[in-house]
Structure 1
Amino acid sequence: MMKKQILKHAKTCGDNECCGLIIDNKRYIACKNIALDPQNNFEISPDDWVGAENQGEITAIVHSHPNGLPILSQADQLFQKQTKLDWWLVCHNKIYQFNAIKPLLGRDFKHGVDDCLTMVIDAYMLTGITIPNYERQDNWWNKGQNLYLDLLPINGFYQVDDIQEGDIILVCLGTKVPNHAAIYIGNQMMLHHCPTRLSTRDLYNGYWLKYTHSIWRHKAWQPSAFMAILNNMALNLN
């Protein structure tokens, strides 16, 4: 019911971006877009925001891209970082949900919470592709497990011989099985998160290239989706 209300509201706004708020994860409140350029931006009326707060907890922000891409823009991601809320986006009569996450760059490492798999899951979520999170113990690669080779094929990935932006690079760090994942971001660069280091960009050469196990691509990958990852990195380039 709530999603039907959101789609109906977006349709009635035509070429202007709709905007609204979700209360308590179960009720949608349509809001007035007071942006000066409503076809390309949105700004929720302060009165509507206060009114929504009086009705419950605001759990997500909704807006639409009537003539745009089904990803959050750089400005969207900046404001999402400030609100610390989930954002829902209407585009092409579909609803895309984007969880509130830490910026991809500059994360502290904590295995099983903020590690290389978390990086991949969050980055792909920004592109509209869902990868389930898996409970994992540290040092699983020395305990007879092969997490990445088990995980990727059942979640829509297939192995490739070339490399393009958005591909996942699997690396063997002192092991026979791949125990590290990075995302290729073009220009011989990769995005990844290693233990004892903040998440960062590195040149994909030398050590990383030498110990690469394989390259993987998602069957639903669209080149335009990569802009969502770039938009996020622009929030906190290091």
Structure 2
Amino acid sequence: MNKTLIKQIQAHAAAEFPRECCGVVIAESGRQKYVPCRNDASTPSEHFIINPEDLADAEDRGAIRVIVHSHPDTPAQPSMADRVSCELHEKPWAIISWPSGELFEFKPCGYQAPLIGRDYGHGLLDCYALCRDYYSREHGIELPNYPRRDGWWTTGESLYEKYYEEAGFYPVADLRKGDMILMQINANAPNHAGIYLGDGLLASVPDLHPAPRTFLHHRYNKKSSRDVYGGMWADYTVLILRHQKMPEER
């Protein structure tokens, strides 16, 4: 990235500070240009969501080469969410730390967030994302990535109940390894999901030790974890789902 682009990105980061700035580098008329965009995140000092109209306008001008955002008062090193997003967008990313001005660039490299110990980021690294990754890595089952805005469970929506059948699940009365557990925690609809592990083992995490009656889940603003299923978690449970592609027990 040349000095002119870097200065433009730094100026945008300074103008938006202490909020995260965001934008894209495009190829327009044979030259790279930085296009600043609005940050639509509800907490813009913590993360960013590029305004879709600004992004569409930039794409109309030229092909997107790099996705850019700032880290106010923190180093330019990518977070776990940044690396996951970079893989999803399949584009190089650049992070500018402000006010230090440090720039870090990185590209998609096949990164996968760990199933246990991943950071939280709603819509990207949340309980449903963990379930999607579990089924993909452990069973080769690809689930749809439904859009979900933060706090949907407080506004009368019930996304799990709305989409589980379309995603290939059906309700069951018993509980066995690989089932999805839906829970309702201080909400009017199921708003938390986990995967029952039984013996606690994961083929994609070979260094785990057996642990009876455990489940995998990702609590709001916590790291994903493997916990014992029972007590309050069982009390919160409102539905047990099994995917139609899961093998039958023998």
- Aligned 8 A contact 1:182 1:192 in 2: yes
Q: TM-score, normalization: structure 1?
A: 0.51
Query: Is residue 133 from structure 1 mapped to residue 158 from structure 2 by the alignment?
Result: no
Any conservation in 1 of the 2:156–2:188 contact (CA below 8 Å)?
A: no
Select the residue among 134, 151, 159 that pairs with 2:163.
151
Q: Residue 185 in 1 paired to residue 197 in 2?
A: yes
The residue that corresponds to 2:51 in the other structure is none
Measure the CA separation in 1 of the matches of 2:228 and 2:248. Answer: 21
1:168 pairs with 2:193: no
**Separation of aligned partners in 2, 1:160 and 1:100:** 34
Cα RMSD for the two superposed structures: 2.2
Secondary structure at the counterpart of residue 153 of structure 1: coil
Deviation for aligned residue 1:196: 2.5
| Post-superposition CA distance 1:12-64 (Å, at most 9, x none) | xxxxxxxxxxxxxxxxxxxxxxxxxxxxxxxxxxxxxxxxxxxxxxxxxxxxx
Alignment size in residue pairs? 129
- 8 A Cα contact 1:116 1:181, kept in partner: yes
Q: Deviations over 1:103-146 (max 9, x none)?
A: 10110001111000000111111111111111111110111211
Q: Answer whether contact 1:165 1:223 (CA < 8 A) is retained.
A: no
Q: Following TM superposition, by how much is the alpha carbon of 1:101 offset from its aligned partner in structure 2, in angstroms?
A: 2.0
Secondary structure (helix, strand or coil) at the match of 2:181 reads strand
Higher-Rg structure is 2
Task: Determine the C-alpha separation between the residues in 2 that align with 1:211 and 1:164.
Answer: 18
For residues 149-178 of structure 1, what are the alpha-carbon distances to aligned partners after superposition, in whole Å with 9 as ceiling and x for unaligned?
112111110000000000000000111310
Matches of 1:147 and 1:157, distance apart in 2: 13
1:197 matched to 2:222? The reply is: yes
Corresponding residue SS for 1:130 = coil
Alignment of 1:218-233 (within 5 A): 218-222=243-247
Q: 1:223 to 1:104 in 2, by over 3 A?
A: farther
Aligned-partner SS, 2:165: helix
Q: Which runs of 5+ in 1 are unaligned?
A: 1-84, 86-98, 225-238
Does residue 207 of the first structure (1) align with residue 218 of the second (2)? no
The answer to whether the 8 A contact 2:195-2:216 is kept is: yes
**Higher RCO (CA < 8 A, seq sep 6+):** 1
Matches within 5 A, 1:1-238: 100-126=111-137, 127-186=139-198, 187-222=212-247
Runs of 4+ in 1 over 2 A off after TM superposition: none
The share of aligned pairs that are identical, in percent, is: 42
Q: Matched residues in 2 for 1:113 and 1:169: separation?
A: 19
CA displacement at 1:223 relative to structure 2: 6.3
What amino acid sits opposite 1:214 in the alignment? L
Gap regions ≥5 residues in structure 2: 1-86, 88-109, 199-211
How far apart are residue 218 of structure 1 and its match? 0.5
